[in-house]
Chain A
Amino acid sequence: MTEQAPILIVVIPLMCALMTPLVGWLRKSFCYPWVILSLTISTICSLLVLNTVIHQGVIHYYLGGWLPPWGIEYVVDHLNALMLVLVSGTALLVAVYSKRSLEQEIPDKIVYFYTVFLLQVTGFLGIVITGDVFNLYVFLEIASLAGYALIAIGEDGAPLASFRYVVLGTVGACFYLLAVGYLYIVTGSLNMADLSRILPELYGSRVVLVAFAFFLVGIALKMALFPLHVWLPDAYTKAPSTASLLLAPLMTKVAIYVMIRVMFTVFKPYFSIELLPVAQIMLWVGIIAIFAGAIMALAQIDFKRMLCYIIVAEVGYMVGGIGVANAVAIKGAILHIMNDVVMTLGLFAVAGIISYKMRHHNLSDFSGLFKKMPFTMAALVTVALSIVGVPPTCGFFSKWYLIQGAIMAGSWVFVVALLFSSLINIILFFRIFEIGYYSFNETDEAHGHGHEESAVINEAPLSMLIPTYIVAALIIFIGLYNQPILVNIIQFAVPKL
């Protein structure tokens, strides 16, 4: 069981996805426990794998028993193991959360939604676990295609947003495929470990340089790095709550994982940082992304769209952190991947609850919500404090390492960008708190005794609140226990510079 765990993580959601229509045909209500069951097994497997990696080191799993340069190999080191747990755990929480929201938003498409949902999770898990560049492309496309479909069933305007995402996402994937082709011409290999062994002799080759550029641009499109982020806000705002809850935390972060893999595993850090000015470029792009994301977030009146621009800024944190290119900053960036998954999950979970209760997700819908939905808002406060970076929450620690690394490297502009974005986040969230505390709907006030009426607690259903609270607890928990996580896992995930 344990030695088969790496493949089970991917295969179980895939098989369950294919069987979901059958289960739904038997009875529609079976789908929900079915999805939760499959994701629970997948999560348990990834926890097992993480445990094995911590105690015994890197796992190699050969598919069909074919040895690496010829067959496809799954490699799990500390970085993937952490990502696997994050992806499968997030998917499980989202699945638990999804029930009521789906019943309200797309009642007649639940069966197909869950099918595509599981395929999406399969795609993410496959991207993270594989050690083969072409296999990664296939999983990247599985994840993207499922994502297009999930977004397209959303509210008004979703099909067009999804269509734009299809066009840009395909360009990104094609660039990635071209890069794989260029590397294959010069090396004759598709295995990541094999590539990194063969490539150093070819670092002067122009083909390798072009491949590297195609890799970075293709992945940047998928991760919505600033000038290439245009598809993200529309797509995630208009997607159904559950779909954006799954996509928003994972898609960008998985893409950043791919970027780290390509820069530091397929190519050696020496190539990405010293031989080419890539790190410098990434640092500046990251800085611009932080400023642009933060400023555009200020201009939004739609809560979900505001969150989307926060994601754009957060992508800038991680890309900039990798661009600083010293061990502390990269440690911060990897810790921030983890934190950002949790925080984005929390934010979109709250957004989902708001749109479930209010049928909209504008900032004005928050009026009087502290009285109506105290539990939801308490969760929002926790997540917001973490996004701002207040000490006991996890957001503080990753920002701390990022800033520390930036100071060590002397990139002061990045420090300024991080602090600026924290300030903007304070404004963004305290504006919401102000609306939530002090403003009441006009209808309530016209009623005369609006205050008593709006004081009636009208909370979200438990199936939505519990995942949200698990996320809020995780934020505090990761914050308090960041040292064990850093020492046991992330320290080994940082590439040797």
Chain B
Amino acid sequence: MEFIVAKYNYWIYIILMMIGFYAMIAKKNLIKKIIGMNIFQTAIILFFVSTAYKKGTTLPILTSADAHGEHAIAVAQYLNPLPHVLMLTAIVVMVATLGVALAIAIMVYRRYGTLNEDEIIKAMK
């Protein structure tokens, strides 16, 4: 039980990821697939951001100017900022993927008049 509670953010990430994965595979509607894909990607953001967190730490913003290297910066006091930066890039990628996927869904809808995968395949034959 403690194993689950202590690492609850990772469990949420896995659950979210599986929800997204299920929607991508099982749903017939293209928009629902896209939403599933987005949930899948968002789960990864949660994962990365959780890895950055350390107990009892603060934001990595230096309050005192330390240009002369008089006292070393205590790294243990701060969060790791790198995963957040990586996720900023990943969010951009995800938004682009979402845009492309929606654009393709619109193309499909204009051509076949439906977003249901079974009906589209029927219309193609």
Contacts and interface: CB of A to CB of B under 8 A. Distances in A.
A166 B47 CA distance: 22
B90 A177 contact: yes
Contacts of A178: 44, 47
B22 to A, nearest CB: 12
A184 B83 contact: yes
A149 B101 CA distance: 9
Nearest to B124: A157
Contacts of A199: none
Interface string B26-67: 000010010001001100100110010000000000000000
> What bracket does the count of chain A residues touching chain B fall in?
20 to 34
Interface stretch (A167-175, A259-267, A409-417, A460-468): A167-175
B104 A167 contact: no
A196 to B, nearest CB: 19
A192 to B, nearest CB: 16
A43 B41 CA distance: 35
Nearest to A144: B97
Contact of A171 (B24, B101, B108): B24
B107 interface: yes
Contact of B96 (A134, A141, A160, A167): A141
For B93, B96, B104, B117, the residue with the greatest tally of chain A CB atoms inside 10 Å of its CB is B104
Interface in A163-199: 163, 166-167, 170-171, 173-174, 177-178, 181, 184-185
B105 interface: yes
A178 B41 CA distance: 10
A194 to B, nearest CB: 13
For B40, B93, B121, the residue with the greatest tally of chain A CB atoms inside 10 Å of its CB is B93
Contacts of A167: 24, 33, 37, 101
B120 interface: yes
A170 B107 CA distance: 19
Contacts of B83: 181, 184
Contact of A162 (B41, B89, B104, B111): B104
Contacts, number: 75
Nearest to B24: A167
A170 B104 contact: no
Interface string B108-125: 100100000100110010
Interface string B12-30: 0000000001001000001
B76 interface: no
Nearest to B38: A170
A28 to B, nearest CB: 22
A152 interface: yes
Given A163-B101, A167-B24, A184-B83, A174 B124 contact: no
A174 B51 contact: no
Contacts of A152: 103-104, 107
B100 A148 contact: yes
Contacts of B24: 167, 171
B124 A156 contact: yes
B97 A145 contact: yes
A159 interface: yes
Contacts of B51: 181, 184-185
Contact of B97 (A138, A166, A185): A166
Contact of B44 (A138, A177, A184): A177
B89 A138 contact: yes
A429 to B, nearest CB: 29
Contact of A160 (B93, B97, B101, B120): B120
B44 A163 contact: no
Contact of B107 (A145, A159, A171): A159
A174 B30 CA distance: 19
Contact of A145 (B37, B100, B111): B100
B118 to A, nearest CB: 11
A170 B38 CA distance: 10
A145 B96 contact: yes
A141 B97 contact: yes
B37 A170 contact: yes
Contacts of A185: 51
A141 B104 contact: no
Nearest to B97: A170
Contacts of B86: 134, 184
A163 B41 contact: no
Interface in A96-145: 134, 137-138, 141, 145
A171 B100 CA distance: 15
Given A163-B108, A185-B51, A170 B40 contact: yes
A148 B104 contact: yes
A15 to B, nearest CB: 19
Interface in A324-369: none
Nearest to B37: A170
Nearest to A146: B100
Nearest to A138: B89
Contacts of B41: 170, 174
A89 to B, nearest CB: 28
> Would you list the 10 A-B pairs with minimal beta carbon distance, nearest first?
A159-B107, A159-B108, A141-B93, A166-B101, A163-B104, A152-B104, A148-B100, A185-B51, A159-B104, A157-B124
9 contacts: A134-B86, A145-B93, A148-B100, A162-B104, A163-B104, A178-B44, A181-B51, A184-B82, A184-B83
Given A134-B86, A171-B21, 4 more contacts: A137-B90, A152-B103, A170-B101, A173-B93
